[in-house]
Structure 1
Amino acid sequence: MSRNVIETVMGAVVLAVAAFFLVFAYSSVSVGRVEGYEVVARFASVGGLQTGSDVRISGVKVGTVVSQELDPATYLAEVRMSIDPSIELPTDTAAIIASESLLGGNYMSLSPGGAAEMIPPGGAIQFTQSTPGIAQLLGQVIYSLQGMGDGGGSSGGNDADSGGDDPVPGGMLNME
């Protein structure tokens, strides 16, 4: 009988410790939505970005992706973000969809510029860049390697018409 009481007490202690760690982890990790002012950015592709994804500057979470919609006039994806009110974004801020890891999801990375004017609440980020997916990058690498193997690669820049200035070294595609 006393063994059952000890097992019950130990089980309760384990559950209490587990609940404490869950509360501690939730309070120390910023997983909640950031409340602040909204800005919008337009992308050709949002591949993998989800509503609720982080918005980061230099790796620090400063906002949350609130919604994604297709603009029927331009066929661009409109991404609305809620930004911490203590963070002001210059008008030349760039928004880039970045990948957390090879297997992880995507997040919005903001690179503030140096403009003196700030984006007002409800304003738009003008400079955007979609990050290509891993499958697209692998396809481009394979395509460029096939081009080099069948004589389609660069000839080293010694042709008279090239002038020796190959803007894309090694035949790789420019991602800009």
Structure 2
Amino acid sequence: MNNSRLEIVVGFFLVLGFAAFGWLALQLGEVSWLGEGSTYTLYAEFENISGVKTGADVQIAGVTIGSVAELRLSKDDFAVATLKLNKDIHLAKDSMASVKSQGIIGDKIIQITPGGDEELYQAGDVIVDTESSVDLESLISKFAFGGVK
């Protein structure tokens, strides 16, 4: 009888442990069908997004507010960055997205400059007011070969 009681207690703790592990996995994975999640998606169209990688930070005033989830090319040959932003961040329609370098190594990030418009971006909207990455090699070659005026 002592063995069966021990097996029941161990089984109970195993079930409890698996339930806790499953709950934690769902919370960290932001499963959208279980709740609203803690992020929403915006898209930003750039002429040049050179150096930005998936997982790069999206920042306002140096504070990380999200990350780059995907990079793709649009039908109009624009680079489109899919931005996952924290739900508590609300961007005005006249906000601007820029590609900037961060730190000595020069990791690229998306820097958002908030606007003052009363109308806000909704999930799925596209930011078209953007500032692309500076192509340093192109600038050097223009300077070296006389293309700068």
Q: What TM-score do the two structures reach when normalised by structure 1?
A: 0.58
Structure richer in strand, relative to its length: 2
Contact 1:90/1:114, CA 8 A, preserved across alignment: yes
Aligned residue for 2:52? 49
Structure 2: segments with no counterpart, 5+ residues: 1-29, 31-36
Instruction: State the shift of 1:60 in Å.
Output: 0.7
Contact 1:93/1:126, CA 8 A, preserved across alignment: no
CA distance in 2, matches of 1:132, 1:55: 18
Q: Choose which of 65, 69, 74 in structure 2 pairs with 1:66.
A: 69
Instruction: State the shift of 1:103 in Å.
Output: 3.0
Contact 1:55/1:108, CA 8 A, preserved across alignment: yes
User: Residue type of the partner of 1:124?
Assistant: V
Structure 1: segments with no counterpart, 5+ residues: 1-32, 148-171
Contact 1:102/1:134, CA 8 A, preserved across alignment: no
Q: Identity percentage over the alignment? A: 27
CA distance in 1, matches of 2:144, 2:135: 14
Aligned residue for 1:169? none
Q: Which has the larger radius of gyration?
A: 1
CA distance in 1, matches of 2:104, 2:137: 11
In structure 2, relative to structure 1, the CA distance for the partners of 1:134 and 1:103 (3 Å cut) is farther
- Give aligned pairs, total: 114
1:81-100 equivalences in 2 (<5 Å): 81-100=83-102
* Bigger relative CO (Cα 8 Å, ≥ 6 apart): 2
Q: What TM-score do the two structures reach when normalised by structure 2?
A: 0.68
1:6-155 equivalences in 2 (<5 Å): 35-71=38-74, 73-101=75-103, 103-143=105-145
Contact 1:92/1:126, CA 8 A, preserved across alignment: no
